[in-house]
Amino acid sequence: MKVLEGKSVFRDICEGPLFFYRGGEALAERHPVEDKAEELERFARARRIAVMQLGELYDRTMEDVGAANAAIFEIHQMMVEDPEYVASVENMVNTQGVNLEYAIQITGENMSRMFHSMEDAYMRERAQDVRDISQRLLKILTGQKTSKAFRQEFPEEPSIIVADDLMPSETVQLSRHLVLGFLMRRGSTDSHTAILARSMGIPALVCVGQELSEEYDGSRAIVDGYAGILYVEPDAATREAMREKKEQSDRHVAMLHTLKGQENVTRDGRCIKVFANAGSLEDVEAALLNDAGGIGLLRSEILYLGRDSAPDEETQADFYRQVLERMQGREVVIRTMDIGADKKVPYLGLEREANPALGLRAIRLGLQNRELLRTQLRALYRAGIYGKLSIMYPMITSPEEIEKIREIEEEARRELDREGIPFAKNLPTGIMIETPAAALLSDRLAEMVDFFSVGTNDLTQYTLALDRQNGALACFDDPEHRAVMKLIEMAAENARRAGIWIGICGELAADPALTEQFLRMGIDELSVAPASVLSLRQRVRELDLGKK
Catalogue the active-site residues: 192, 505
Query: What count of residues does the chain have?
Result: 548
User: Rounded to whole angstroms, how far apart are CA atoms 345 and 305?
Assistant: 6
| Choice from 15, 39, 301, 458 touching Mg ion (CB under 5 A) | 458
| Choice from 61, 457, 515, 532 touching ligand PEP (CB under 6 A) | 457
- If the CB atoms of residues 335 and 378 are measured against Mg ion, the closer one turns out to be 335
- If the CB atoms of residues 112 and 376 are measured against Mg ion, the closer one turns out to be 376
| Conformation bin of residue 377: beta by default, left when phi > 0, alpha when psi is -120 to 50 | alpha
Does position 456 interact with ligand PEP (CB under 6 A)? The reply is: yes
CA–CA distance from 455 to each of 96, 307, 504 (Å)?
A: 44, 26, 6
- If the CB atoms of residues 199 and 264 are measured against ligand PEP, the closer one turns out to be 199
User: Rounded to whole angstroms, how far apart are CA atoms 63 and 216?
Assistant: 31
Does position 505 interact with ligand PEP (CB under 6 A)? The reply is: yes
User: Rounded to whole angstroms, how far apart are CA atoms 80 and 488?
Assistant: 52
User: Rounded to whole angstroms, how far apart are CA atoms 2 and 184?
Assistant: 17
3-state class (DSSP) for residue 439: helix
User: Rounded to whole angstroms, how far apart are CA atoms 128 and 116?
Assistant: 9
Strand partners, 453: 432, 503
Tell me the closest approach of the beta carbon of residue 185 to Mg ion, in angstroms. Answer: 24
343 binds, among ligand PEP, Mg ion, none (CB under 5 to 8 A by kind): none
- If the CB atoms of residues 232 and 392 are measured against ligand PEP, the closer one turns out to be 392
Does position 279 interact with ligand PEP (CB under 6 A)? The reply is: no
| Choice from 109, 224, 283, 458 touching ligand PEP (CB under 6 A) | 458
Helix (H) or strand (E) holding 220: strand 220-224
What's the per-residue H, E or C state across 28-39? CCCCECCCHHHH
Instruction: Return the range that interacts with ligand PEP (CB under 6 A); candidates 158-166, 254-262, 379-387, 454-462.
Output: 454-462
170 binds, among ligand PEP, Mg ion, none (CB under 5 to 8 A by kind): none
CB distance 47 to 86 below 8 Å = yes
Does position 525 interact with ligand PEP (CB under 6 A)? The reply is: no
State the chain's maximal CA–CA distance in angstroms.
78
HSE toward the beta carbon, residue 495, CA cutoff 13 A: 28
**The Cα angle at residue 491 between residues 487 and 495, in degrees rounded to 5:** 170
CB distance 470 to 423 below 8 Å = no
| Choice from 228, 455, 471, 530 touching ligand PEP (CB under 6 A) | 455
Contact partners, residue 482, CB within 8 Å, separation at least 6: none
| Choice from 455, 471, 503, 530 touching Mg ion (CB under 5 A) | 455
Tell me the closest approach of the beta carbon of residue 341 to ligand PEP, in angstroms. Answer: 8
Does position 376 interact with ligand PEP (CB under 6 A)? The reply is: no
List binders of ligand PEP among 319-338 (CB under 6 A): 338
Tell me the closest approach of the beta carbon of residue 427 to ligand PEP, in angstroms. Answer: 20
Q: Other CB atoms closer than 10 Å to residue 406's CB: what's the count?
A: 12
Does position 434 interact with Mg ion (CB under 5 A)? The reply is: yes
Binding letters toward ligand PEP, positions 335-374, x by CB under 6 A: ---x------------------------------------
- If the CB atoms of residues 80 and 363 are measured against Mg ion, the closer one turns out to be 363
Does position 392 interact with ligand PEP (CB under 6 A)? The reply is: no
Does position 276 interact with ligand PEP (CB under 6 A)? The reply is: no
Does position 530 interact with ligand PEP (CB under 6 A)? The reply is: no
| Torsion 316-318-319-321 (CA) sign | positive
- If the CB atoms of residues 39 and 342 are measured against ligand PEP, the closer one turns out to be 342
DSSP summary character for residue 392 = E
Tell me the closest approach of the beta carbon of residue 484 to Mg ion, in angstroms. Answer: 13
How far is the first Cα of the chain from the last one, in angstroms, to the nearest whole number? 50
Does position 382 interact with ligand PEP (CB under 6 A)? The reply is: no
Does position 506 interact with ligand PEP (CB under 6 A)? The reply is: yes
List residues binding ligand PEP (CB under 6 A). 195, 297, 299, 338, 434, 455-458, 505-506
Residues at the contact surface with Mg ion, assessed by CB under 5 A: 434, 455, 458
